[in-house]
Amino acid sequence: MPNHDKLDNIDLKILSSLLDNCRESDRQIGNKIGISGNAVKSRIARMIENRIIENFALKIEPTVLGYNVLYVVTTGQDVAKILKQVGLIGEPFFVVPCVGGITVCAIVVKEDVEQKIELAKNLMRDVRILNIFEAENPGIRSDLTKTDLEIIRYLMKDPQLKIEDLSKLTKLSTKTITRSLKKLQDDEAIQFTLVYDPEKFGQYIPFAVLVWIKDDLVSTMNQLKKSFSSAFLQKPFIAKNQIVLFCYSNNIFELDNITQKIRSVNGVATADLFIPRQIILPQRWINNAIKTAEASNRLHLTYQSVK
């Protein structure tokens, strides 16, 4: 029997499935990993009770709603102070305090990215900026309608809402809800996921490796998957010249070894290691973007690139 206060390998497989798609049913997850749906349900309930799973979430890439993204790496782990400083530049997309006294932030900004970078350097005086750069638009095309946005508004509160419940809340037909949900789940820029507490992984260590690509991204990604997929906690995030690998290890030395091996892969320019202590995924910017979109006269909100 597993220790009820600590994760085991089966828990990690369940977490991995939920991180990639938290709308997947208990039975579907159980079929993948070889246990019953009831056993999956019980383990998920335990992870929620123990606050390993903090909440289920809808993660939307900002470019889908017409925003650019700045990444800022700062010293310090006073989240309240960092959020206050970030608010001088734009809205926080995610904030991750990491081991080693640094915090990684992603900030959504609407325009004048270079100007915003200079503004950040000048205004964020209460924290020391170690690095700041724009995330290149991955070129993902989304074609969201106002109907999709109305459904997203409710999914943000509970991304696991059943079709019948969404239909009652939105006053839309179950057919319309089903069609929209399929579109959202097939969209590379929208992820039904969860937020977990890295400090409650027990013997396991979740970590992320930010990989900068110097050659062909697809072939480099294929090499990384071939060599390191057994260590993946969830599917990688891919941009034009960046890949973020989300991994786990049960050994600090193995973790370092994996990072070194990633750096030696053909096509990799550099790779930076981050071990999170906390994960914060603010949603206010999405609410603001939906309000702006709903005020528009356009039915479809298509964004291929943001200048």
pTM over 0.95: no
How does 174-209 read in b/e, with b if 16+ C-beta sit within 10 Å? eebbeebbebbeebebbbbbbbbbbebbeebbbbbb
What class is the 9-50 domain? mainly alpha
Alpha-carbon gap, residue 271 to 243, rounded angstroms:
9
Residue 90 has a pLDDT of 86
CA 160 and chain centroid, separation? 17
**Domain-by-domain residue ranges, the chain?**
9-50, 57-148+189-197+279-307, 199-274
Q: Which CATH architecture has domain 199-274?
A: 2-Layer Sandwich (3.30)
Taking CA atoms, 287 is separated from 145, 283, 307, in Å, by 15, 7, 22
Question: For the chain, which ranges sit under pLDDT 50?
Answer: 1-2, 299, 303-307
Helix extents (H) in 124-268: 146-157, 163-170, 174-186, 217-228, 252-263
Residue 137 has a pLDDT of 60
Residue 16 token pair: 């991995």
Residue 307 has a pLDDT of 37
Alpha-carbon gap, residue 252 to 215, rounded angstroms:
29
3-state secondary structure of 228: helix
At 27, which amino acid appears? R
| 57-148+189-197+279-307 CATH, one of 1.10.3470, 3.30.70, 3.10.450, 3.30.2130 | 3.30.2130
Burial status of residue 9 (CB atoms within 10 A of its CB: 0-12, 13-18, 19 or more): exposed
Handedness of CA 267, 270, 274, 279 (dihedral sign): negative
